[in-house]
Chains A and B, each alone.
Chain A
Amino acid sequence: MQWPICGPKLSLCCSIISIWGIIQFLLLGIFFIVQAAPLIDDFDFNDKNATDIHVFDEGLKAAFHQRAFNCWIAAVLYVILLIFTGMQFRIHLKQSSIPVPPTITSPFAGVTTEGNDINSQHGIQFTTDHSET
């Protein structure tokens, strides 16, 4: 992955959200699998009005487990997002940490005659860089 798709701020923001998401969804998954009562408000299930206690229990259990797996899948998705954005962020970090010689950083400051080509090229790079962020 050579070119950065998202800018430094977006990738940092996404990484932080995905770290939060991973932790929260992992925990939520655990709470769903142990059938935590406070979470019962959050969903409907098929056998809600069943009169037989066993049918009701089975339905409740299935619904809870479904949510638990959903949460864990979401957590995995956030892991993928974290890997992606983390890589993006590191690319940006590397780019900004490379010590660039002063002549290249200043497209307008150079007085040298031959520098024109390099400067204009870099100027273009610079602008495209910004449009992507």
Chain B
Amino acid sequence: MTLCQLFLQPDAAYACISELGELGIVQFRDLNPNVNSFQRKFVNEVRRCEEMERKLRFLETEIKKDELPIYDPEDNPDAPKPREMIDLEATFEKLDHELKEINTNADALLRNFNELTELKHNLSMTQAFFDEAQANPVAVLEDVNGEREIELGGQATTSVGMKLGFITGVIPRERMVTFERMLWRVCRGNVFVKQADIPDLIEDPLTGEKVHKTVFVVFFQGEQLKNRVQKICEGFRANIYPCPENPHERRELAMGVMTRLEDLTIVLSQTQDHRQRVLAASSRNLRTWQIKVKKIKAIYHTMNMFNNDVARKCFIAECWAPVTELDRIQLALRKGSEASGGGTVSSVLNRMITREQPPTHHKLNKFTQGFQNLVDAYGVATYREINPMPFVLITFPFLFAVMFGDAGHGLIVTIFALWMVLKERSLKDKWRTQEVWTIFFGGRYIILLMGLFSIYTGLIYNDVFSKSINIFGSSWRVKFGDETLNKLDTVILEPTPYNYSRTSEYRQMYSGTPYPFGLDPVWQLAENKITFTNSVKMKFAIIIGIIQMGFGVFLSLWNHLHFNHRHSIYLEFLPQIIFLAAIFFYLIILIFYKWTTFDGSVATQAPSLLIQLINMILLSYPAEPESSRTFYSGQRGIQTALILLAVICIPWMLLGKPIYRIIMNKRRANYSTVTNQTENIENENNEQIHNTEKKRGIVLDVDVRDTDTDEMLDDDHLHQQHHQLEVDMSEVWVEQGIHTIEYFLGCISHTASYLRLWALSLAHAQLSEVLWHMVLQIGLGMNGYVGAIASFIVFMPWSSLTVFILLLMEGLSAFLHALRLHWVEFQSKFYKGEGYPFVPFSFRLLLDETPTEG
């Protein structure tokens, strides 16, 4: 990783950046952090892009409203040239305008159409009503509380000189009742309301919902009542339609309405067709346009970060780039310059030297990405620090599998992961918005490895859905006589590989050659299975844990060598590894020693490892209980020496580094007092020369290679570096003290912490055994053919419980514990994780992340 400076011609800058964006291996630094984002150079262009994006979004919502398919382009369009941007803008403007016009037209037409349909219904209803009234005037009169003399002569006028007026209109059905009551109250019962429901649904122009509506006719007498009725109608937002009094005119109006309606339907369908055509045409290009606009925006956004040198007419950019990729960057720059047609002065790329910490960049593929995410979740590696990912790749699934050891469960996990891996392409874009699914899919390779390792450990534990399989033939034989068997419920098999001669009936029970692979299946039937497996699994957990911690300490050696911290090797790595070896590696040796030397015949007198360890630290060697006797002669001397060695390590690590610092500081102080006087004079001269340039924070010489790059840094950076040199000594002491305590106490607590490997595997084995016994055994245990039906039914809950409890819940807990073992127990030995990630300017990343937002 190196810091580079780019000098770009203003004409060529755009093309160069677009090439770099396609390449995606450069991270640009913001050179004007103090400039408000509204005052930057290309803010206008960015704003234009945003305007275009807004229009495209509008277009997309319109397309989605019509449920037209949006075509995803196969190829990745290049970022368009700046000239093309104007064309795009014009196209979008035109489309936007057209669409808006169509929409307003369609809206107006629709409103018109609705009104006309209402009018049509209105007319037909009133017509029917009047017809009825004409045919049977008495009934109507009875309706209107008898006393009033109202005659509804054909034209709705009175013949007795009393002129009855009427208003017709349409109102939503649910308002009708209140409307009627209101009319009755306000007009004191002097109006007559007649209503009829419209059978069809009518669209509400505001909300677009379809509602039931009712036609009403209000009869009244006199102007005042008319005003009142009109006001109430307005209040209830009823649509009032004029209705001629003459039946002839009414018929004519109805005819006119019908013809206009027909015309309108044609016009409406044509508008709709036109809209469809416009949208269909744009839906084909929509994604391409979106990508193009996004690229333009990204380019201008990047160019905003550049330093603009007016005097020399060029842009200056600073960026982080991997050293190995410099050639490709140069090539891209040349391509960009050629593409822009300038060609007179090509872009220049310079490497800069800086004391600032570069971003951390790991080369990853889709397989390692998931594991790197696990590591990065703890902390991004400090620059050039050893990356634990390649080791986590193997140890993580392994530790998971130790806790999840069941071949049957492992098989299901593997099949699930295999399905995700093999169908990767088609599954990639599916369910992108579902978070749980994306988590599973992102970790598909981790899950695959976890499943495979679980099958392996399951075979070692000889557990397949909590049942053992006897592949090679057990190495135990039961050869008891009838007499013994009749007397006892359980018998004890003796583990001695030779004839056991306490009673004559005991013959050889253990063949002497162990079961070739994993646990002997005979333990499945043993009563003391858990006692046996606990002892084995606990010891394995300790061995695995200590080996992993030791490995972590060795990785810290790698770090010290790389950063050239020679003193750290002697003052940190050595005491750490000696402490670990003196106590814990020794414990592993004792475990193996106990396994190999004590067999069945002397098993009862074997010393206990735990008590041995406690005695070793307490320096007491009692002879009384058999379990605390020593393993071998001379154990006392060796153990005392080891303890002494371990104790020496503590002050060694605690004091070593601070003392080294003090000595180094003194030496440096001596050196600087001698040289300072001569150097100061030179420095002053230099400063005067560079003073003017320094204030601008940048050196304008094109041949920067020779100049001192420190001067190119901002003042802030310089201040920081000064502080770093003069660290307070008390801080060093405190830090080293914490570090020491953390390590030595950590060694002990972490070793105990690895026992979770045993605890979780025990829990998993027991849970799956309980599930089998409580659920599946109901079906298998039944006599007769009912058992078949019972098995059939019982299998469903068993399988779903297996998936949800044993695979998902237990799997999650094993996953989290494995993660903890790596983050805390393993990585704390060597990994700082104080870096920050390398985020390249890449179109591919930009385009990838957007769909998840939407």
Contact A67 B467 (CB under 8 A): no
Contact partners of A42 in chain B: CB under 8 A = 776-777, 780-781
Could you say which of B297-305, B323-331, B555-563, B788-796 contacts chain A? B788-796
Which of A20, A37, A51, A67 is close to B780, meaning CB atoms less than 8 Å apart? A67
CB distance from A53 to the nearest CB of B (A): 8
Q: Is B470 an interface residue, CB under 8 A from the partner?
A: yes
Residues 759-815 of B contacting A (Cβ, < 8 Å): 776-777, 779-785, 787-789, 791-792, 795-796, 799-800
Contact B268 A69 (CB under 8 A): no
Contact B467 A39 (CB under 8 A): yes
Contact partners of B789 in chain A: CB under 8 A = 74, 77
Contact partners of B65 in chain A: CB under 8 A = 109
Contact A73 B524 (CB under 8 A): no
Q: Is B128 an interface residue, CB under 8 A from the partner?
A: no
Q: How far apart are the CA atoms of A45 and B265 in the complex, in Å?
A: 82
Contact partners of B795 in chain A: CB under 8 A = 17, 21, 24-25, 74, 78
Which of B269, B470, B796 is close to A17, meaning CB atoms less than 8 Å apart? B796
Contact B67 A70 (CB under 8 A): no
Given contacts A17-B800, A70-B785, A111-B110, contact A43 B780 (CB under 8 A): yes
Contact partners of A28 in chain B: CB under 8 A = 780
Contact B201 A116 (CB under 8 A): yes
Contact A69 B524 (CB under 8 A): no
Q: How far apart are the CA atoms of A109 and B67 in the complex, in Å?
A: 9
Contact partners of A38 in chain B: CB under 8 A = 467-470, 521, 524-525
Which of A17, A74, A106 is close to B67, meaning CB atoms less than 8 Å apart? A106
Given contacts A102-B66, A111-B110, contact A70 B486 (CB under 8 A): no
Q: How far apart are the CA atoms of A109 and B784 in the complex, in Å?
A: 61
Residues 51-97 of A contacting B (Cβ, < 8 Å): 51, 53, 63, 66-67, 69-71, 73-74, 77-78
Q: How far apart are the CA atoms of A36 and B776 in the complex, in Å?
A: 17
* Least CB separation from A39: chain B residue: B467
* Least CB separation from B272: chain A residue: A111
Tell me how many residues of B have a C-beta within 8 Å of chain A: 41
Tell me how many residues of A have a C-beta within 8 Å of chain B: 37
CB distance from B515 to the nearest CB of A (A): 14
* Least CB separation from B201: chain A residue: A116
Which of A40, A70, A109 is close to B788, meaning CB atoms less than 8 Å apart? A70
Q: Is B208 an interface residue, CB under 8 A from the partner?
A: yes
Q: Is B200 an interface residue, CB under 8 A from the partner?
A: yes
Binary CB contact string for chain B from 525 to 560 against chain A (1 if under 8 A, 0 otherwise): 100000000000000000000000000000000000
Q: How far apart are the CA atoms of A57 and B787 in the complex, in Å?
A: 21
Which of B467, B788, B800 is close to A69, meaning CB atoms less than 8 Å apart? B788
Q: How far apart are the CA atoms of A102 and B779 in the complex, in Å?
A: 51
Contact partners of A40 in chain B: CB under 8 A = 525
CB distance from A101 to the nearest CB of B (A): 10
CB distance from A39 to the nearest CB of B (A): 7
Contact partners of B524 in chain A: CB under 8 A = 37-38
Contact A109 B265 (CB under 8 A): no
Contact B784 A66 (CB under 8 A): yes
Contact B791 A71 (CB under 8 A): yes
Q: How far apart are the CA atoms of A36 and B290 in the complex, in Å?
A: 65
Given contacts A17-B799, A66-B783, A102-B67, contact A111 B268 (CB under 8 A): yes
* Least CB separation from B68: chain A residue: A102
Residues 463-515 of B contacting A (Cβ, < 8 Å): 467-470, 482, 486
Binary CB contact string for chain A from 15 to 38 against chain B (1 if under 8 A, 0 otherwise): 001001100110010000000111
Q: How far apart are the CA atoms of A32 and B34 in the complex, in Å?
A: 78
Which of A37, A67, A112 is close to B787, meaning CB atoms less than 8 Å apart? A67
Contact partners of B781 in chain A: CB under 8 A = 42-44
Q: Is A113 an interface residue, CB under 8 A from the partner?
A: yes
Q: How far apart are the CA atoms of A104 and B684 in the complex, in Å?
A: 83
Contact partners of B792 in chain A: CB under 8 A = 21, 73-74, 77-78
Q: How far apart are the CA atoms of A111 and B788 in the complex, in Å?
A: 59
Q: How far apart are the CA atoms of A63 and B783 in the complex, in Å?
A: 8
* Count: A-B pairs, CB below 8 Å: 94
Given contacts A41-B525, A112-B269, contact A74 B788 (CB under 8 A): yes
Contact B791 A74 (CB under 8 A): yes
Q: How far apart are the CA atoms of A51 and B483 in the complex, in Å?
A: 11
Contact partners of A108 in chain B: CB under 8 A = 208
Q: Is A133 an interface residue, CB under 8 A from the partner?
A: no
Contact partners of A39 in chain B: CB under 8 A = 467, 780
Q: How far apart are the CA atoms of A78 and B799 in the complex, in Å?
A: 13
Contact A37 B788 (CB under 8 A): no
Residues 63-81 of B contacting A (Cβ, < 8 Å): 65-68
Contact A73 B780 (CB under 8 A): no
Given contacts A38-B468, A38-B525, A102-B67, contact A70 B799 (CB under 8 A): no
CB distance from A37 to the nearest CB of B (A): 7
Binary CB contact string for chain B from 100 to 130 against chain A (1 if under 8 A, 0 otherwise): 0000001000100000000000000000000
CB distance from A129 to the nearest CB of B (A): 18
* Least CB separation from A72: chain B residue: B788
Q: Which of A43, A44, A74 has the most CB of B within 10 A?
A: A74
Contact partners of A44 in chain B: CB under 8 A = 781
CB distance from B375 to the nearest CB of A (A): 34
Contact partners of B783 in chain A: CB under 8 A = 43, 45, 63, 66
Q: How far apart are the CA atoms of A24 and B265 in the complex, in Å?
A: 64
Contact partners of A112 in chain B: CB under 8 A = 268-269, 272
Contact B788 A73 (CB under 8 A): yes
* Least CB separation from B264: chain A residue: A113
Q: How far apart are the CA atoms of A91 and B67 in the complex, in Å?
A: 24
Contact B470 A25 (CB under 8 A): no
Q: How far apart are the CA atoms of A2 and B169 in the complex, in Å?
A: 48
CB distance from A52 to the nearest CB of B (A): 10
* Least CB separation from A76: chain B residue: B788
Contact partners of B521 in chain A: CB under 8 A = 37-38
Contact B525 A116 (CB under 8 A): no
Contact partners of A109 in chain B: CB under 8 A = 65-67
CB distance from A11 to the nearest CB of B (A): 14
Which of B470, B776, B782 is close to A37, meaning CB atoms less than 8 Å apart? B470
Contact partners of B776 in chain A: CB under 8 A = 42
Q: How far apart are the CA atoms of A24 and B465 in the complex, in Å?
A: 11
Q: How far apart are the CA atoms of A66 and B469 in the complex, in Å?
A: 21
Residues 98-119 of A contacting B (Cβ, < 8 Å): 102, 105-106, 108-109, 111-113, 116
Contact partners of B269 in chain A: CB under 8 A = 112
Contact partners of B788 in chain A: CB under 8 A = 69-71, 73-74, 77
Q: How far apart are the CA atoms of A38 and B792 in the complex, in Å?
A: 21
Contact partners of A43 in chain B: CB under 8 A = 777, 780-781, 783
CB distance from A113 to the nearest CB of B (A): 6
Q: How far apart are the CA atoms of A83 and B437 in the complex, in Å?
A: 28
Contact partners of A20 in chain B: CB under 8 A = 412, 799
Contact partners of A116 in chain B: CB under 8 A = 200-201
Binary CB contact string for chain B from 440 to 478 against chain A (1 if under 8 A, 0 otherwise): 000000000000000000000000000111100000000
Q: How far apart are the CA atoms of A74 and B849 in the complex, in Å?
A: 49
Q: How far apart are the CA atoms of A73 and B789 in the complex, in Å?
A: 8
Contact partners of B469 in chain A: CB under 8 A = 38
CB distance from B595 to the nearest CB of A (A): 26
User: Which A residues are closer than 8 A to B by beta carbons?
Assistant: 17, 20-21, 24-25, 28, 36-45, 51, 53, 63, 66-67, 69-71, 73-74, 77-78, 102, 105-106, 108-109, 111-113, 116
Would you list 6 pairs from A and B whose C-beta atoms are within 8 A, ordered by A residue?
A17-B799, A38-B469, A45-B783, A70-B787, A73-B788, A77-B788
User: Which B residues are closer than 8 A to A by beta carbons?
Assistant: 65-68, 106, 110, 200-201, 208, 265, 268-269, 272, 412, 467-470, 482, 486, 521, 524-525, 776-777, 779-785, 787-789, 791-792, 795-796, 799-800
The 8 A-B residue pairs with the shortest CB-CB distance, nearest first, are: A73-B788, A70-B788, A70-B787, A74-B791, A74-B792, A102-B67, A38-B524, A77-B792
A42-B780, A105-B67 are known contacts; what are 18 more A-B pairs with Cβ within 8 Å? A17-B799, A21-B795, A36-B470, A37-B470, A38-B470, A38-B524, A38-B525, A66-B783, A67-B780, A69-B788, A70-B788, A71-B788, A74-B788, A74-B792, A106-B66, A109-B66, A112-B268, A116-B201
